[in-house]
Every structure is written in structure tokens, then in C-alpha cells.
Chain A
Amino acid sequence: MSGAQPVLWLPGGEEHDPIANKTFGFWLYMMSDALIFAALFAAYGVLDHRFNAAGGATARQVAHPVDAFWQTLAVFASVLAYSLAMVKLKAGSRLGVLLGLGAAALLGLVFIGLEIADFASLIGQGITPERSGFLSMFFVLVAVHGLHMLFGLLWIAVMMAQVALKGFTTEVVTRLLTLRLFWTFQASIWVCVFVFVYLRGAF
């Protein structure tokens, strides 16, 4: 090769945007998480048949769309509360961020509470995961989303402590942005669960 070579990298030179690097990396993790949910939805779609209910409860008996709509409202409102906390972050208001995160956590707890109540009601009627392949998949799909929500609540609690103690450092702001992606992602997955499990199952 001849002529001047282009500079590909420069040790000690200007670094990449550390916030954008981390949020994009986390975004790619979420894309892989979406494919885990795709596998769960595929398995649910296959097992959602009377044959796989093995004489036990079918989708129509376990899917209560009106109850699930209350969960939908709770998770959407929680995401809105978190998003409003981000508006307060833009304004540099530590109290506003803490209030938004607190409201998001409370609404997330409402979601989890409704899901636990639904599971308890089903189990009380003898509709348990081990009863059939269909029920195993129903509980796994809904519970995996619920576990994501539970982890998100734990993360929100940690971030509330970090905002209160450290303020808006680069690390804290980066974590708030990645948590916002994670929390909003839960609302998107819930749209699929609500429509393809609860609404379709109620037909």
C-alpha cells in the first residue's frame, strides 16, 4: 500500500461518549431479552390447545381480560411516572426525580400485587402449573414478565438511593437512562402478553 494511511484510532485521544456507549449496550441486551420472550410466546402458542391442556383448564378459563386490563393500566402509568421523572432529570430537579421514581415503584407494586392475586386465585381453584403443558407455559410466560418487573422495582429502589446520596453524576444519569429503557420495555412486552394471552385466550 502506498500514500498516507488513515488514522483508525488514537491512543489517549478523545474517547467515545460513555453514556451513549452504555445505553446502546444495554439496548442490545434488551433486544436479546426480546428474543427470549419470542421463544416463550412461541412455546405458549404451540401449547395453547385443548390437547395440551390434558383435560385441565384452557386459556378461556385462566385468561381474565378485564383483570389484566387493570394490570395494563398499572404498568403504563408506572412507565409514565418514570418518564416524567426523566423530564425532571432534564430540569436538574433531584426531588422531582425521586418523586417520579417513587410513583413508578408504587404503580409497579400495584402491577405485581394484581398478578400475585390472579395467580393465587387460579391456584386456589386447582389451576396449577404442573397440571398440564399449557398451564406450565401460561405460568412461565406471565411469571417471567413479572420477574422482570420485580427486578425493575429493585433497581428503582437502588437508583432512588443513588440519586439521593450521589446526585446526578455521569454514572447515576447513565443508570437512570438504562433503567428507563428497561422499564419502558416491560410495558412493550406486557402489550404482547395482554393481547396474545389474555385477549386471545378469552375468545
Chain B
Amino acid sequence: MPAHSTDPLLHPEVRQASILAYGAGFVASTVFMAIALVITLGRVLPYLGLLAAISALAMLALLAQVVLLFRLDLSETQLWKTVSLALVIPLFVLSIGLTGWMFHTLYPRTMLHFMAVQGSGSMM
């Protein structure tokens, strides 16, 4: 925004609106999720293969949203949003992953009935 601009419509966060980027973000997100649905319904992959495939597609959809819908980049306008997101992503992944790992090892050692039903569920 110019140093003394008083028109909020000239703000860089308003000016970054783009019909092309938003349309591409919508199409990319939808296509990635549709592929994930087809893979799941097709039942052609084993459980771990399916998990890897749909996780990769989720990451692609989220990346498309970050770049094309949130319009995050390293510009002066968006830099600190991008940095804060980059710092939060490891916390997000670690908090879920470490909790899952902890219980994955805790269940067999603490729950006596676990062995009777092991393999019949889909725990992380």
C-alpha cells in the first residue's frame, strides 16, 4: 500500500485477489480429493499403501490451498504468515504422530484384551 494511502481497496491483501488463482485452487483441491475417493472405493491398495496414497493427495490439496487460495508466498505482504505456518506444521504433525506412536506401543503392553482383537481394527 502506498505510504499514505487511505483507500483500503488499495491494500496489497485486497489487490492479491485473482480469479485465475482461486479457480485453479478450487479445481486442484477438488481433483485431488476425487482421486483419493476413487482410490479408496476401488480397494486396489493394501491398508498402508492406501494410507500413503491418500495422505500424499491430502498434502497436495493442502499445498494447492496454501499457494492458490491463501496466496501465501515470500512477498513482504505474506512473509510472516508463511513463516508462522511453516513453524506450526511440524507441531501439527508431531502432536498427532507422537500421540499415535505412544499409544501404538502402549496398547499391547497395558491392555490385556488388546491381543484378542489385534488386527481387527485400523489403529494408527
Contacts and interface: CB of A to CB of B under 8 A. Distances in A.
Contacts of A23: 13
B9 A51 contact: no
A49 B121 contact: yes
B14 A89 contact: yes
A168 B9 contact: yes
Interface in B55-70: 55, 57-58, 61-62, 65-66, 69-70
B122 to A, nearest CB: 6
Nearest to A134: B121
Interface residues of B, number: 61
Contacts, number: 168
A44 B82 CA distance: 28
B1 A87 contact: no
A203 B29 contact: no
B13 A169 contact: no
Contact of B57 (A38, A58, A174, A195): A195
B65 A59 contact: no
Contact of A199 (B37, B81, B123): B37
A119 B33 CA distance: 22
B117 A83 contact: no
Contacts of B70: 181, 184
A17 B14 contact: no
Contacts of B9: 89-90, 92, 168, 173
Given A51-B117, A86-B14, A59 B40 contact: no
A185 to B, nearest CB: 8
A46 B100 contact: yes
A173 B14 contact: yes
A203 B51 CA distance: 9
B32 to A, nearest CB: 8
Interface of A: 14, 17, 19-20, 23-24, 27-28, 31, 34-35, 38-39, 41-43, 45-46, 48-51, 53, 58-59, 65-66, 69, 72-73, 76-77, 79-80, 83-84, 86-87, 89-90, 92, 168-170, 172-174, 177, 181, 184, 187-188, 191-192, 194-196, 199-203
29 contacts: A17-B1, A20-B77, A31-B85, A38-B91, A39-B95, A41-B96, A42-B99, A45-B103, A46-B100, A48-B124, A49-B123, A50-B120, A51-B107, A65-B37, A69-B34, A72-B30, A76-B33, A80-B23, A83-B26, A86-B22, A92-B9, A169-B8, A172-B8, A177-B13, A184-B70, A187-B69, A188-B65, A199-B36, A199-B54
Given A31-B85, A38-B92, A177-B14, 20 more contacts: A28-B84, A31-B88, A34-B92, A39-B95, A41-B96, A42-B100, A46-B124, A50-B117, A59-B122, A69-B34, A89-B9, A90-B17, A172-B8, A173-B9, A192-B58, A194-B36, A202-B40, A202-B41, A203-B40, A203-B47
